[in-house]
């Protein structure tokens, strides 16, 4: 295997994504995602085969989720825990292959869920959740657990003060494209929610439902 150049291990963010003209793709936490609408299932199978060939040639392999009418692609450089130029190059190839197959990008449809658990001592509770969920410690962050199979969302242990139950401990972090985050917040408020805090916007907004249960809308820039 050819050694990876140091420049191909540098983490890239939304500005580099936009500079590369990758309008089909959005950064969600530590990966880039694209969703392509398909005219039929056969087209999806052919596109998956073409992407697979490009991935093999690049020795860099995306996660592909083919369903009726759509193909979702996630790209990340797992060895560095983020997006690199390797991902940007392959993303460009995938967009070109999708266009050649008559697939249409729909970046507004990509999103990602992260589970967040408030914990005053995540070292004490992490082994339990690691065992019961069959997950592994994240390479990127020591306070996260990842599913090596990719079936479950990330579990993040959010530091908090010690407190008695009952009090909400789990909440969802909903990652959406950065250019759609404010609309998602507005939609949640219009649906009966309350904006608890926008102090950390545009990184994340804290919202609550009618009973006070909280969730965050998050954007990665």
CATH number at 42 reads: 3.30.1360.20
pLDDT in tens, 105-157: 999 999 999 999 988 888 888 898 998 899 998 877 888 999 988 888 999 99
Q: Tell me what pLDDT residue 165 has.
A: 65
Start-to-end CA distance of the chain, whole Å, equals: 32
105 & 124 share domain? no
- DSSP for residue 83: -
pLDDT in tens, 35-59: 999 999 999 999 999 999 999 999 9
Range of the domain at 20: 6-109
207 & 158 share domain? yes
183 & 206 share domain? yes
pLDDT above 60 for 74 = yes
Residue 1 covered by a domain: no
CATH number, domain of 201, equals 3.10.180.10
Of 55, 87, 109, at which residue does a domain stop? 109
204 & 166 share domain? yes
What strands, in cross-sheet order, belong to the sheet with 144-146? 136-137, 144-146, 155-159, 112-119, 170-175, 214-218, 204-208, 194-197
Dist. CA 146–CA 156, nearest whole Å:
9
| H or E stretch at 159 | strand 155-159
The 10 Å Cβ neighbour count of residue 86 is 21
């Amino acid at each position: 295997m050819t050694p990876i150049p140091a420049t191909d291990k540098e983490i890239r963010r939304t500005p580099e994504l936009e500079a590369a003209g990758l309008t089909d793709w959005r950064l969600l936490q530590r990966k880039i995602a694209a969703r392509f609408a398909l005219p039929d299932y056969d087209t999806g199978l052919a596109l998956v085969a073409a992407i697979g060939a490009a991935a093999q040639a690049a020795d860099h392999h995306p996660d592909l989720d083919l369903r009726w009418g759509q193909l979702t692609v996630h790209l990340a450089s797992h060895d560095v825990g983020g997006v690199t130029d390797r991902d940007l190059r392959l993303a460009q190839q995938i967009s070109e292959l999708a266009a050649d197959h008559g697939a249409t990008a729909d970046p507004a449809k990509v999103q990602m869920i992260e589970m967040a658990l408030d914990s005053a001592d995540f070292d004490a509770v992490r082994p339990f959740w690691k065992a019961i969920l069959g997950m592994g410690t994240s390479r990127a962050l020591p306070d996260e657990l990842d599913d090596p199979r990719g079936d479950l969302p990330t579990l993040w242990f959010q530091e908090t003060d010690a407190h008695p139950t009952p009090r909400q401990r789990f909440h969802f972090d909903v990652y959406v494209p950065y250019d759609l985050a404010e609309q998602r917040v507005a939609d949640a408020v219009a649906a009966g929610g309350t904006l608890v805090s926008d102090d950390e916007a545009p990184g994340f907004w804290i919202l609550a439902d009618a009973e006070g249960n909280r969730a965050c809308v998050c954007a990665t820039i």
